[in-house]
Chain A
Amino acid sequence: MLLQLLVNGLILGSYYSLVSVPLFLLFATTRVLLISLAGVVVILAYTFQILVQLTHTYWLATLGTIPVCIVVLLGILYAVHYPLERRKADPDTHLIAAFATLIILEHLVYLAIGPDTVLVPAGSAISVGGMTIKILNVILVAVFAGAWFGLEFLMRRTWFGRTLNAVASDLELTQLLGVQTRRLVLLSIVLSSILLSVVVSFVVLDTGVDAYSGLTLVLPGLMSLVVGGGSRMGSVIIGSFCIGLLSQLVLYFAPTAWQTGLTYAVLLIVMLSKPGGLATNIAWKHEV
């Protein structure tokens, strides 16, 4: 049972990583914690379902959701956060605005589609050493590994990655040095859209999404940002896997009903001992 829980934790960690990395990229470039991504996730899920019905091809449907994601994210930034930025709103106001945007998106999607869960059942499960693993989840972990490799290359070897790391460390200084952050924002939106489209496709094929379930995916992503440390993409991914594994391992000791509460309680204790995050230096916390 413990092995099954570990495998489930790794799969969950892959899901959370693919959500927390877009959150990190957007936060690093805009300094806005876009919790409204939960609403975007729901929109993408419905778009994916429609495109699957039209094309009967999963990868084509995933590709089709990418431009939708880019448009919605740009729409949110230009309609809500840039006007607030012009008025010199503080990060707290941006966060509340992001939550308000989420409320709008979720309820509009519910009005348009209704209470049904978007689920396109796909793939079968295999049994390995007494464990049951969905083939879909094996593909997900492989896709995540590929994405991580690609992202690490991007962050270490390209202009985008190096500038993004600099912006994540000190936004004002990089702006003073002449870095055009709007261009960087656009690039991180494109990258985030690709990752979000992939993860949403997997969620729709695996467990399904309803109008109000976007937060269940995005909030662990937000917590990963904090638990990992948030200054580097690698630490965010470590945070995601910690949450994924922890949320499964607590089931070894406690009933399912207490899973969420116990997971967050353990995370709180960990954060009390390491307030700067598990995988980073403490300086960045104070800067943010």
Chain B
Amino acid sequence: MSYLISVLTAAEVYTLLVLSANLQWGTLGMVTLSTAGFAGIGAYGAIYAARFFGPSSLLPFCISMILPAVISLLVFRLVIKFKGIYLIAVSLAIQYCLENAFASWMGVTRGALGITGVRASLLGQAYSGDLAVLAIASVVVISALVLSNTVFYRGHYGLVLRSIREDEIAARSLGITPRTLQSITFVASSVMAGLGGALLAAHLDFVNPSVFSLGESLALLAGVIVGGRGSMVGSILGAVVLVVLPEMLRFLPLPTATFADLRQALFGLMLVLFLITRPKGLVPETNFLRQFYARS
């Protein structure tokens, strides 16, 4: 039972993180490799805040949203200047800066040693059980899904964003101001990543820089690909695949010493096969023009 709760919590946390990556890639059309770094800012920010404000307070979780929001607002001014491989390289540089800060800022992060007992420090001793984390993650993820669905996927704002993604010049000619809308979405995505990072730290009960590494950013992009770019249901499915697939491979009769590496290699292979056979993901994005005409 405890194992199932753990897998379910992980799936929920990853839903939030994949949703964040999908908002940037699927909705804004910006591929960035720094989602895990923003999740790390949220996680470390929440843990550090909990030292001052104490557990069982909402403030650490608020900090896990505010801190990435402020930093992403600054970062946005930089990333918006770039496209294609330039954007990827810039986001990679940001991810490396953040990873280096997590690994070297010993006073806050304890570096590679990591921080243990995260649940108790964030949620308090009374709520540090598996079920409590699952309940909190459920509330947060459902709220994020409802909000995303209303604002970014089905609403007028979502349609405008997708029109910017498809043809920015045409959108400008219609009187849309892309920068403001893009920056709001970028910040919203970072807020989700930060909150997801704090929840991930609570779920793992431990945090160190490797939890928010480049590999994790790539895994989140893989979740977006598997689920479907620009699709909210796809984000949920992508996260489920991201969590459940490695767990399923756990039951294969593989030698213990080589298990972790064989699992990763199989994961990579499945990803490549998926990209070739289903490039639009499990749930392709809805044709937004059809959606627009249906509305009007």
Binding site for B on A (CB under 8 A): 27, 33, 79-80, 83-84, 87, 89, 91-93, 95-97, 99-104, 107-108, 110-111, 219, 222-223, 225-226, 230, 257-262, 264-265, 267-268, 271-272, 275, 285-286, 288
Contacts and interface: CB of A to CB of B under 8 A. Distances in A.
Which 6 residue pairs across A and B have the least CB separation, nearest first? A261-B100, A103-B268, A104-B268, A226-B89, A107-B265, A100-B271
B292 to A, nearest CB: 23
B261 A272 contact: no
B32 to A, nearest CB: 11
Contacts of B76: none
B291 interface: no
Given A96-B221, A96-B225, A285-B86, A104 B97 contact: no
Interface in B96-140: 96-97, 99-101, 103-104
Contacts of B101: 261
Contacts of A95: 31, 85, 88
Contact of B262 (A107, A257, A272): A107
Contact of B90 (A27, A230, A259, A271): A271
Given A80-B272, A268-B78, A223 B92 contact: yes
B174 interface: no
A288 B265 contact: no
A100 B103 CA distance: 25
A264 B86 contact: no
Given A91-B84, A261-B97, A111 B265 contact: yes
Given A103-B268, A104-B268, A93 B279 contact: yes
Nearest to B94: A268
B83 A286 contact: yes
A103 B89 contact: no
B2 interface: no
B78 A103 contact: no
Given A103-B264, A271-B78, A286-B83, 15 more contacts: A79-B272, A93-B279, A96-B218, A97-B276, A99-B221, A100-B272, A103-B267, A107-B265, A107-B268, A111-B261, A111-B265, A226-B90, A260-B99, A261-B97, A285-B82
Interface in B218-245: 218, 221-222, 225
Contacts of B92: 219, 222-223
B21 to A, nearest CB: 11
A104 B265 contact: yes
B279 A261 contact: no
B222 A260 contact: no
A100 B279 CA distance: 14
B97 A264 contact: yes
Contact of A100 (B86, B261, B268): B268
B275 A84 contact: yes
A110 B261 contact: yes
25 contacts: A80-B276, A84-B275, A92-B31, A95-B88, A97-B275, A97-B276, A99-B218, A100-B222, A100-B271, A103-B264, A103-B265, A107-B261, A111-B261, A222-B85, A223-B92, A225-B89, A226-B89, A226-B90, A259-B100, A268-B78, A268-B90, A268-B94, A271-B78, A271-B82, A272-B78
